[in-house]
Structure 1
Amino acid sequence: MSPEAAEVLRLLTVRGETLAVAESLTGGLVAAEITATPGASRAFRGSVTAYATELKHRLLGVDATLLAERGAVDPQVAAQMAAGVRKALGADWGIATTGVAGPEPQDGQPVGTVFVAVDGPSEATFPAIESGKVIRLRLNGDRAEIRMESVRSVLALLLRELAGEQTGNGRAQDTEQNGGT
């Protein structure tokens, strides 16, 4: 159980709000981190692991044209995944991960390219990317390190939103982070 997951759940419970998770490269690790925390059921609605690209469209409502033109590793895809899981599971907040954990590049993106997104009740309209709720990560490390840093990063993004902090200048951020190497 991570301190970030515990704090996310504490804040959600205090606020009487709920969370849903959409995952691709993390393959269920975000949901596992959240549910490792005692009392998670008070705020956690569930998750969708949409590893295959077509499932991002079918289960989460990600625009098929966007997926065809840009692939699954894209900031707008991350934003739509977060909004889609929030809607599909009836949650106040949705978070999402999509990216390339390796060992090979995907959709023209190098290994370590990850997008994490959050969509919540403070959002007036979709897409979340327009209000700076998507962060691009460039992570170093092996597959396991990239996936775990993606989990930490999406939980940290949600914590900032729950705490009311701004995540930038109203646009997606481009950050450099090292995944443990």
Structure 2
Amino acid sequence: MKSKIVTFMIVGLIHNFTQAQELDVVEAKYRGKPIIQMMLNGQKTWVLLDTGSDFTVLDTKVKDKYEFHILSSNDASLKVPGFGSTGNQLAPASHVKLEFGEVRLRGPVFAFDLSAVAKSIQRRTGKRIAGIIGTRMMSTYGFVIDMRSGTASIEVKRKKKDRKREYDQESLVVTTTFNRSN
């Protein structure tokens, strides 16, 4: 009987370890507001992680600098409250490559004149945001915002090839963890 229990436990442990999945954790540090550095079309920029916004929105005023396009739209579902009024018309943005570390963030991205918000944040933090990452995108990638430690992170499956990871982004850290999945 004891040998059957020991065998069962060993088989269970082997199964758990062979099913382990290696994950990378991409993490950025921030102070105060969750404003982190990302890459937008190959250029460093600051973005605000905003749990109060459903949408990911880029500032129309920086479209030339970051080389994204704004499409015209009169879609009533893109009329949203916020930014001090009730009927803000968002426009779809295209040619947007948004990256957090090595992770390319995919999903709907919109454009709106965020210049007043960006200036206000810049006065208080010294960082000029180019956009807001909303909850739809954050939930897709499992963003964790830890207000106590001042970190924002996501876990991603490690690529098969172990490539050298170099980041010159301020406060961006990549660590590796193991996650057991059954």
TMscore range, shorter length: under 0.3
Query: TM-score scaled to structure 2, two decimals?
Result: 0.24
Based on CA coordinates, which of the two structures has the bigger radius of gyration? 2
Query: TM-score scaled to structure 1, two decimals?
Result: 0.25
Greater strand content:
2
- Greater RCO (Cα-Cα under 8 Å, separation 6 or more): 2
